[in-house]
Structure 1
Amino acid sequence: MHRADSVRCVGGIVFDADGRLLLVRRAHDPHRGRWSLPGGRVRPGETDAEALVRELREETGLHVAPVTLRGTVPLGRYLISDYTCTVSGGRLCAGDDADDIGWVNSAQFSALATRDALTPDLAETLRTWDALPR
């Protein structure tokens, strides 16, 4: 259930050819300094797909194509719809909403989770969706 004043957002679940997951370290609140999926707010008049393509290009430098809605999660006043995406081009670089970016494998992801360096519930959510890195 979501609040009437929820802010619609999208996130991208992106894997490379080795099964590593793309994460960004948030440069701004909420959760500044923690690692999360790339994404952001859906602008008025935008579809989720349009917002996802725009946000991932701005935040990661990559051109993506949304494939499948994996699920939707509330995070405070934000309602985030996370989609599996494929990369169609671009060059990986952290945008202004991220102070770092990278592909993480299973061991690296687990280490981030152990250090409480991920956004709240990210590890459990991805585990539930069978979307953890290899």
Structure 2
Amino acid sequence: MAKREYPDSPRVGVGAVVVKDGRILLVQRAAEPNRGLWAIPGGSLELGETLKEGAEREVLEETGIVVHARHPVYAFDFFEKDREGKIRFHFVIVDLLADYVRGDLKAADDALDVRWLSPADLETVDLSASTVRILRHIKFHG
């Protein structure tokens, strides 16, 4: 498996934008990059896995809920350099729209916490910059 930190080439990341009852599913990241910030659930795509399969697996692993992933709604590059200017992280991330199927929230895997957040709730948590851009792009207003 390719290295996450100081990779030799970009990694493919996949996430799921899940909205239920006017609230969006977000996780508080337990790992770098963006440790402690709230973000769309997701992670690295595994070899031989489709975007949809990866998004569904990542949501289940991080939150304990089952979703049905649909189509991509947002794609972006994520770079983070260290103090010497070396690329510490480089991801190409594709976020898919996904429908809640079943399950109860439980933070697991790479999540410190997991919540369904309303637009008003978003003002009370620290969001990753990419999550702010995604929410604007999908015009999340609950």
TM-score bracket, normalised by the shorter chain, equals 0.7 to 0.9
User: What is the root-mean-square deviation in Å for CA atoms of aligned residues?
Assistant: 1.4
The TM-score normalised by the length of structure 2 is 0.82
CA contact (8 A) 1:27 1:97 kept: yes
Where does residue 58 of structure 2 map in the other structure? 55
1:124 aligns with 2:117: no
Q: How many residue pairs were aligned?
A: 125
Residue segments in structure 1 that go unaligned for 5+ positions in a row: none
CA contact (8 A) 1:109 1:133 kept: no
Quick one: structure 1 residues 121 and 55, their matched pair in 2 at CA, closer, same or farther if it must change by over 3 Å? closer
CA deviation profile, 1:52-83 (whole Å, cap 9, x unmatched)? 11111100101110122101011110111001
Provide the C-alpha distance between the structure 2 equivalents of 1:52 and 1:121, rounded to a whole number of angstroms: 17
1:133 CA drift (Å): 4.2
1:10 to 2, 14, 17: 14
1:46 to 26, 45, 49: 49
State the 4+ residue runs in structure 1 displaced beyond 6 angstroms. Answer: none
The TM-score normalised by the length of structure 1 is 0.87
- Provide the identity percentage: 34
CA contact (8 A) 1:9 1:78 kept: yes
2:107 to 70, 94, 117: 94
1:110 CA drift (Å): 2.8
CA contact (8 A) 1:68 1:83 kept: yes
Quick one: structure 1 residues 121 and 51, their matched pair in 2 at CA, closer, same or farther if it must change by over 3 Å? closer
1:85 aligns with 2:89: no
Quick one: structure 1 residues 96 and 119, their matched pair in 2 at CA, closer, same or farther if it must change by over 3 Å? same
- Give the number of the structure whose alpha-carbon radius of gyration is greater: 2
